[in-house]
């Protein structure tokens, strides 16, 4: 039996809704297909992973108990911290971040408020160091995506019974939230990409076969060099940013 088959079986035994199981296993299958990773190495032993997904054994309540609601939503990196804390104030607990960067959350029958923070962490070792640094303040990991790690903390640990909600506010109908910086970065990336492709197409159309081959080869070599240079610059800038932000 494969890892996902075993996970699906364990989730069914824990009473998880079939729709949620199907969506979760589909996301995990796509993630593993893209990355070619070993699921046990990436997610840990299947039984423990099933416990993490359902909230069992972690002291934060079950994600599948009576009266439990589930919510999957997303936001760009600039907007995530504010939106996570807004959702946390409504009683939504983030269980994990799925392969698409969406926050998989639940709200129990007797919800309480949650706090969240987004940290810059490049790689598993940096995430582990960040988790160790924040553990003394009551923060626990609740997922990661790209170069960001996410942490949650129950407000009850700070204010006691006042963290319990007497009402269950309805979440916004939107399921993805953009910030102005996020829209600007996305727009610039699209403009640069489209402009580059248009210029390459015009050059290829104007030349003969030999010129086209030479142009295409040069473009591919230039693109590879540019990507490598941008990756290096991004990595250096990110390390500097993370060092300043996380100190």
pLDDT under 50: residue ranges of the chain: 57-62, 245-247
How do the domains of the chain map onto residue ranges?
3-178, 182-246
Per-residue pLDDT reduced to its tens digit, 106-138: 998 889 999 999 998 888 889 999 999 999 999
The reported pLDDT for the residue numbered 60 is: 40
SS3 97: strand
Residue 161: both structure tokens together:
């019974």
Residue with tokens 């910086």: 181
SS3 42: helix
The reported pLDDT for the residue numbered 234 is: 52
Beta pairing partners, 154: 114
SS3 81: helix
Which of 96-105 are b and which e, b meaning 16 or more Cβ less than 10 Å from the residue's Cβ?
bbbbebbbbb
| Element of type H or E holding 149 | strand 148-154
The reported pLDDT for the residue numbered 94 is: 95
The reported pLDDT for the residue numbered 191 is: 86
The reported pLDDT for the residue numbered 150 is: 96
Whether the CB-CB separation of 84 and 150 falls below 8 Å is answered with yes
For helices 3-13 and 18-35, the axis angle rounded to 10 degrees is 160
24 by Cβ neighbours in 10 Å (0-12 / 13-18 / 19+) ranks as buried
The reported pLDDT for the residue numbered 30 is: 76
How far is 84 from 246, CA to CA, in rounded Å? 19
Please give the C-alpha separations between residue 152 and each of 72, 119, 173, 190, 230, in angstroms, as whole numbers. 16, 11, 23, 33, 32
């Amino acid at each position: 039996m494969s890892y996902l088959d075993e996970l699906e079986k364990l989730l069914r035994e824990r009473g998880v809704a079939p729709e949620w199981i199907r969506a979760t296993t589909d996301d995990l299958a796509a993630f593993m297909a893209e990355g070619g990773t070993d699921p046990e190495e990436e997610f840990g032993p299947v039984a423990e992973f099933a416990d993490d997904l359902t909230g069992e054994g972690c002291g934060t309540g079950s994600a599948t108990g009576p009266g439990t609601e589930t919510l999957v939503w997303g936001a760009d990196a600039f907007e995530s911290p504010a939106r996570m804390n807004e959702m946390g104030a409504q009683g939504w607990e983030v269980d994990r971040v799925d392969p698409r960067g969406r926050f998989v959350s639940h709200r129990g029958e007797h919800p309480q408020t949650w706090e969240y923070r987004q940290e810059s962490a490049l790689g598993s070792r940096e995430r582990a160091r960040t988790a160790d640094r924040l553990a003394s303040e009551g923060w626990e990991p609740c997922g990661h995506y790209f170069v960001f790690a996410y942490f949650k903390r129950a407000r009850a640990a700070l204010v006691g019974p006042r963290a319990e909600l007497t009402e269950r506010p309805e979440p916004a109908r939107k399921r993805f939230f953009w910030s102005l910086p996020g829209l600007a970065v996305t727009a610039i990336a699209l403009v640069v990409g489209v402009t580059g492709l248009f210029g390459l197409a015009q050059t290829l159309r104007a030349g003969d076969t030999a010129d086209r081959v030479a142009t295409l080869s040069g473009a591919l070599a230039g693109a590879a060099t540019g990507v490598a240079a941008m990756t290096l610059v991004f990595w250096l800038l990110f390390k500097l940013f993370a060092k300043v932000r996380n100190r």
